[in-house]
Amino acid sequence: MSIILVGLNHKTAPVEVRERLAFSETMLTPALRTLVESGGVSEAMIVSTCNRVEIVAASPSDSAPSLQRVCHFLHEFHRLPGLLYKEHLYTHADKLAVRHLFRVAASLDSMVLGESQVLGQVKTAYSKAQEAGTLGKVLNQLLTRTFNVAKRIRTETEIGGAATSVSSVAIELTKKIFDRLDNKRVLLVGAGEMTELAARYLVNEGVTQFLICNRTPERATELCEKFGGEVIEFSRLKFELPRADIVVCSTGASDYIITATDCKRALEIRRYRPIFFIDISVPRNVDPAIGKLDNIFLFDIDDLEGVVGENLKQRQKEADKAESIVETEVEAFFERLDILEIGPTIAALKEHLTEIALSEFERTRHKLGSLTPEQEEAIKQHLLSSLVNKFMHPLITTLREGTRSSNGGCNIVELYHQAYDLKERLSELEDRRSGTKDRRH
């Protein structure tokens, strides 16, 4: 049994390639079914987003040929000749595959480190595969673990903590000054892309009142139609300033368009209610001297980017912690998987050997002379069972090592089954287990 993963992401493939290998929602179910029916794998799941395509599968045979087949499937399904995009694909087997999946779900492999969307996308992919009926024991186990690992990393590290874009940092700072933004009036100076982006963030925070001021009024009117609010003539800017609680400034002007005098006047008219300035234009459009006034808070692009940089550094630090969590979880996952796989064999073997020991004891019982019931019990409990355990120990070790080396594992299990004739006993054990389960229900 092997776990394999074939995929491509924003680091290995440009968008032209990613879009040609992506799976749309309607394609997912047929793709999964084809993969399981003809791709040589027993279980499969596909995560397809704008930044990545990942095919996770479990295969009963060795990993190398399965990986080959999945690569071919990826091309054939998208009707691409040969292995056109082979150099953009990465292929992982077993530990590396599990590790990769853990890293993807925990957003350690994302474009923006620690973003939270990708976990949701993996969850959706999982439920899609569930609907398509292409999941089994191994992938169910794997994905349950994956979600736990992602959750653990979220709670134990601060990888998703601080804001990582200029706009979201600006919003965070605004919230340090104003408790609520829905009753605040925002003045947008300049109607370019940056102000539009900022406006969109502010709308998300509940802002409804905008004043829009631009040198060319047409563009201002355009923005006005999008977000609502009123257009202000450029020449009237300083007279309208007192009405604004938040000012976002981004124009191509080469000097200050809001001066300290304007600002002092505005404050007096506002009875010193605070004004928050965000100046994202280069060269700056708001006189930096006003930042020294009471109740005025001014931040320029460097301030905001400084915070972004610090936050990213912080996330990077947290990512190191997350990586070590991933490593330990990968080990733990395989240990559990081993137990899942060889557990029944070990139980059957133990039962088999114990039976032999007991019957041999009964056969030679008369040669042992008179024994008290206590002595008899001691022989059964201690002598025989410790003998059985001693015999089993090397067998279990070989079995474990065999499964861990991934290719020979199944054969060793098979070998045991044949050598000790365990097949029947295994199914008997299985029946007994499901019997107790039924009774419990």
Partner 1 sequence: MQELLVLSLAFYLLGLIQAGLVFFQKPRLPFAITFVSSLSGFILHTIALVIRGKQVERCPIALQPELLLFLGWSLAAYCIAAFIWNRNQVFANYVFPLAFLSTLIGVILPLPPVSPLGLRLGGSLLFPIHVSMVIFAYTAFFITFVTGLIYLFQERQLKQKRFKSILGRFPALDTCDSIGYSSMTIGFILLTLGIMTGIVWSGQRYGIYWHGDPIEIATMLTWVNYMFMIHYRVTAGWRGRRAAIVSVVGFTFIIFSLVGLKYLGRVHVSVG
Active site residues: 50
CB of 267 to partner 1, least distance (A): 8
Cβ distance to partner 1 smaller for residue 310 or 331: 310
Q: Is 178 in the site for partner 1 (CB under 8 A)?
A: yes
Query: Is 90:74 a contact under the CB 8 Å cutoff?
Result: no
Q: Which residues pair with 111 in a beta bridge?
A: none
Stretch that binds partner 1, among 118-126, 267-275, 363-371, 426-434 (CB under 8 A): 267-275
Contact partners, residue 164, CB within 8 Å, separation at least 6: 112, 113, 114, 308, 311, 312, 315
Query: Is 109:101 a contact under the CB 8 Å cutoff?
Result: no
- Distances from the Cα of 53 to the Cα of 113, 125, 132, 163, 326, angstroms: 18, 11, 18, 26, 21
Query: Is 111:18 a contact under the CB 8 Å cutoff?
Result: no
Interior angle at CA 199, CA 298 and CA 177, nearest 5: 40
Cα separation, 254 vs 283, whole angstroms: 6
Q: Is 275 in the site for partner 1 (CB under 8 A)?
A: no
Q: How many angstroms from the chain centroid is the CA of residue 205?
A: 26
Q: Quick one: which of 19, 233, 310, 355 contacts partner 1 (CB under 8 A)?
A: 310
Q: Is 186 in the site for partner 1 (CB under 8 A)?
A: no
Bond preceding residue 288 cis, omega within 30 of 0: no
Q: Is 264 in the site for partner 1 (CB under 8 A)?
A: no
Cβ distance to partner 1 smaller for residue 114 or 344: 114
Return the SS3 of 207.
coil
Residues that contact partner 1, how many (by CB under 8 A): 24
Q: Quick one: which of 11, 86, 151, 175 contacts partner 1 (CB under 8 A)?
A: 175
Q: Is 202 in the site for partner 1 (CB under 8 A)?
A: no
- Distances from the Cα of 372 to the Cα of 197, 368, 369, 377, 382, angstroms: 89, 11, 10, 9, 15
CB of 322 to partner 1, least distance (A): 17
CB of 323 to partner 1, least distance (A): 22
Helices 25-38/63-77 angle, 10° precision: 140
Q: Quick one: which of 86, 273, 393, 432 contacts partner 1 (CB under 8 A)?
A: 273
CB of 400 to partner 1, least distance (A): 38
Q: Quick one: which of 274, 334, 346, 408 contacts partner 1 (CB under 8 A)?
A: 274
126-165 residues in contact with partner 1 (CB under 8 A) are: 155, 162
Helix, strand, coil percent values for the chain (each to nearest 5): 60, 10, 25
Q: Is 172 in the site for partner 1 (CB under 8 A)?
A: yes
Q: Which residue has the tokens 């191994």?
A: 138
321-360 residues in contact with partner 1 (CB under 8 A) are: none
Q: Quick one: which of 25, 179, 225, 438 contacts partner 1 (CB under 8 A)?
A: 179
Q: Is 201 in the site for partner 1 (CB under 8 A)?
A: no
Q: Is 205 in the site for partner 1 (CB under 8 A)?
A: no
Q: Quick one: which of 112, 173, 358, 429 contacts partner 1 (CB under 8 A)?
A: 173
Nearest CA to 422 among 399, 438, 402?
399
Cβ distance to partner 1 smaller for residue 294 or 438: 294
Q: Which tokens hold the place of 123?
A: 């969850």
Q: Which tokens hold the place of 117?
A: 């969307």
Cβ distance to partner 1 smaller for residue 307 or 384: 307
Contact partners, residue 166, CB within 8 Å, separation at least 6: 280, 301, 304, 305, 308
Stretch that binds partner 1, among 140-148, 168-176, 258-266, 363-371 (CB under 8 A): 168-176
289-308 residues in contact with partner 1 (CB under 8 A) are: 291-292, 294-295, 297, 299, 303, 306-307
- Distances from the Cα of 114 to the Cα of 164, 305, 332, angstroms: 10, 18, 23
Cβ distance to partner 1 smaller for residue 97 or 246: 246
Cβ distance to partner 1 smaller for residue 268 or 377: 268
Q: Is 242 in the site for partner 1 (CB under 8 A)?
A: no
Q: Is 176 in the site for partner 1 (CB under 8 A)?
A: yes
- Residues in contact with partner 1 by CB under 8 A are 155, 162, 172-173, 175-179, 270-274, 291-292, 294-295, 297, 299, 303, 306-307, 310
